[in-house]
Chains A and B, each alone.
Chain A
Amino acid sequence: MNALPGYNFAYLDEQTKRMIRRALLKAVAIPGYQVPFGSREMPLPYGWGTGGIQVTASILGQEDVLKVIDQGSDDTTNAVNIRRFFNRTAGMATTDRTEEASIIQTRHRIPEKPLNENQILVFQVPLPEPMTRLEPREAVTRKLHALADYGLMHVKLYEDIARYGHIATTYDYPVLVNGRYLMAPSPIPKFDNPKLHMSPALQLFGAGREKRVYAIPPWTRVESLDFEDHPFSIQRWQQPCALCDAEDSFLDEVVLDGGGRMFVCSDSDYCQTRQAAGHTGSENTPTEVSA
């Protein structure tokens, strides 16, 4: 449509997209299994979402509506750049609204608003292998996956409890997909892990530097690893969002100009939608007449 001339639709050539789609089909067929793919050079460095971008580029159609978030926000430099990249190379519509998007590319968060069957969530993954820290040899971790031999991951959680008294892993918290494959959910907070479970949306994961894609098909069981006497639990806050009063969302601590601090939703669309609907928090309650 109004994509930049000289570039193929969504930047990647059709053959590359087909290759990535084949890898994605395999990934969907074997939930949680890391499928190698021929990662291409992208016009941005590794660590800036090259894996996610290649996945998005391969599944994107002209009718799609794209939302891009980084740390839950549509407005960070990285999110803005990726959105603009697709705007220029594919010319398709973009949105900030979770419910309007057909594809959501994300780094660090899953939107608070429940997703539906018509949506695809694309995660940017820096480190696809959850066991790397304890077992750096890839040949070994591959064998451990093949044999579903995941005791090592519990060694890591054991060590957390021995050291800190509780499982201190709060991001990229390891999960078992469909009762079979151990998977790194990318650096989302463990707060978002329950949203991975039985999600109606297709969830795709792309790691550019490591050249791996993996997937959670819709309605797939996803369990967070834990111990019987130290069950998995998500983060909780003492107070609701200071801007929209939400009690069910992931909060970021924000330092105020005056030196104070407040806790606000990390999902900016969720927060703004609530504010627009009239919810107010402690920081933006309209000044009272008597004051």
Chain B
Amino acid sequence: MSAQHGDRAAAAKTPGPLSQLAGKGGGAPLLRVEGLSRKYGGRIGCSDVSFDLHAGEVLAVVGESGSGKSTLLQLLATRLALDAGSLHYQITGRGLVDLSALSEADRRWLMRTDWGYVEQNPRDGLRMNVSAGANVGERLMAVGARHYGEIRSTAKDWLQRVEMDPARLDELPTGFSGGMQQRLQIARNLVTRPRLVFMDEPTAGLDVSVQARLLDLLRELVTDLGLAAVIVTHDLAVARLLAHRILVMREGRVVETGLTDQVLDDPQHPYTQLLVSSVLQV
């Protein structure tokens, strides 16, 4: 009886960085991925990928260029059609739902409320011809917010949360640095408090010092908000810093998966060993 009580208390706790250890054992996953495959003509994009992702868990997908990371991410986010496999997602109040059975309207609702997608190039994820405030407010308006003052103050709060100057609320993102644009894109995604965020190389293309600060910010946000995330990166240091678990891809297939520290400290697959040793040489 008392043990049961203790379990429940643990389960109710906000998922934190270490919650995957609790989550892994029991409970339904947030996202269940089974046998995902996608070809481009004759060429393999990604092949037979399966994993579970739990609430609050951060998964890094690593591998060299062309290994299928972006393809996998787009399949997960239902931006790309599957050739084979299935995706199930835990929808609040509905349980684990087959995403292919969801209506287009429900799927879009999910994508703009419960999910986020951070593009590598912030220009692809922002509306460059409207202000920072409108960029952050767009999702709120899409789900029915109709009070200008409230939308504006929420947008302002989010600029502060991503460490941007709130005085720049009415400026166009075209005038922002790459790092600032990426922060704005993150704010725009998080404003509806999603539970799951997909990120494709979110820090690539930024100066090293800017990268480091953005990674710190991402780590804080993920922890504070209890976000689950799938982060694509070719940079093992990013995976080390942000991810609980890691999935190593090569030629469209998963060659190794496990807890981040285990995989990076004691890689089993020769390809992972090669990746890790090439980092150490730098």
Of B108, B127, B170, the residue contacting A162 (CB under 8 A) is: B170
- On chain B, the number of residues with a Cβ less than 8 Å from chain A's Cβ atoms is 23
Assembled-state Cα–Cα distance A156/B137 (Å): 11
A276 CB-CB contact with B under 8 Å: no
Q: Are A161 and B148 in contact (CB under 8 A)?
A: yes
Of A134, A143, A147, A154, the residue contacting B127 (CB under 8 A) is: A134
State the Cβ distance, B56 to closest chain A Cβ, in Å: 28
State the Cβ distance, B99 to closest chain A Cβ, in Å: 17
* With A163-B170, A228-B146, A228-B147: A158-B141 Cβ-Cβ less than 8 Å: yes
A258 CB-CB contact with B under 8 Å: no
Q: Are A158 and B151 in contact (CB under 8 A)?
A: yes
**B144: nearest chain-A partner, CB-CB:** A151
Assembled-state Cα–Cα distance A146/B149 (Å): 29
B110 CB-CB contact with A under 8 Å: no
B142 CB-CB contact with A under 8 Å: yes
Of A143, A147, A154, A162, the residue contacting B131 (CB under 8 A) is: A162
A149 CB-CB contact with B under 8 Å: yes
Chain A residues positioned under 8 Å from B147 (CB to CB):
227-229
* With A134-B127, A149-B108, A162-B131: A155-B146 Cβ-Cβ less than 8 Å: no
Q: Are B134 and A155 in contact (CB under 8 A)?
A: yes
State the Cβ distance, A149 to closest chain B Cβ, in Å: 7
**B150: nearest chain-A partner, CB-CB:** A229
Q: Are B148 and A155 in contact (CB under 8 A)?
A: no
* With A159-B130, A162-B134, A162-B152: A154-B170 Cβ-Cβ less than 8 Å: no
A230 CB-CB contact with B under 8 Å: yes
* Consensus secondary structure, chain A interface: helix
Q: Are B108 and A229 in contact (CB under 8 A)?
A: no
Which residues of B116-166 have CB atoms within 8 Å of chain A's CB atoms? 127, 129-131, 133-134, 137-139, 141-143, 146-149, 151-152
Chain A residues positioned under 8 Å from B169 (CB to CB):
162
Of A134, A159, A163, A229, the residue contacting B149 (CB under 8 A) is: A229
Chain B residues positioned under 8 Å from A147 (CB to CB):
104-105, 108
Q: Are B142 and A159 in contact (CB under 8 A)?
A: no
State the Cβ distance, B257 to closest chain A Cβ, in Å: 36
* Consensus secondary structure, chain B interface: helix
Which residues of A184-200 have CB atoms within 8 Å of chain B's CB atoms? none
Chain A residues positioned under 8 Å from B142 (CB to CB):
149, 151-152
Q: Are A155 and B105 in contact (CB under 8 A)?
A: no
Chain B residues positioned under 8 Å from A226 (CB to CB):
146
Of B105, B134, B143, the residue contacting A159 (CB under 8 A) is: B134
Chain B residues positioned under 8 Å from A152 (CB to CB):
138, 142
> Which residue, B134, B139, B169, has most C-beta atoms of chain A within 10 A?
B134
Assembled-state Cα–Cα distance A147/B109 (Å): 10
Of A155, A163, A228, A230, the residue contacting B137 (CB under 8 A) is: A155
B85-109 vs A: 1/0 string, CB under 8 Å?
0000000000000000000110010
Chain A residues positioned under 8 Å from B139 (CB to CB):
151
Assembled-state Cα–Cα distance A158/B154 (Å): 13
Chain B residues positioned under 8 Å from A228 (CB to CB):
146-148
Q: Are A159 and B131 in contact (CB under 8 A)?
A: yes
Q: Are B141 and A155 in contact (CB under 8 A)?
A: yes
State the Cβ distance, B131 to closest chain A Cβ, in Å: 5
Chain B residues positioned under 8 Å from A154 (CB to CB):
141, 146
State the Cβ distance, A99 to closest chain B Cβ, in Å: 39
Chain A residues positioned under 8 Å from B143 (CB to CB):
151
Show 27 A/B contacts (Cβ-Cβ < 8 Å), sorted by A.
A134-B129, A134-B130, A147-B108, A151-B138, A151-B139, A151-B141, A151-B142, A151-B143, A152-B138, A154-B141, A155-B130, A155-B137, A155-B138, A158-B130, A158-B134, A158-B141, A158-B148, A158-B151, A159-B130, A159-B131, A162-B131, A162-B170, A163-B131, A226-B146, A227-B146, A227-B147, A228-B147
- A-B complex: 10 closest residue pairs judged by Cβ atoms: A151-B142, A154-B141, A227-B148, A151-B141, A228-B147, A159-B130, A162-B170, A159-B134, A158-B134, A155-B134
Q: Which residues of B contact A (CB under 8 A)?
A: 104-105, 108, 127, 129-131, 133-134, 137-139, 141-143, 146-149, 151-152, 169-170
Further pairs besides A155-B127, A163-B131: 6, Cβ < 8 Å: A149-B108, A151-B142, A151-B143, A155-B141, A159-B134, A162-B133
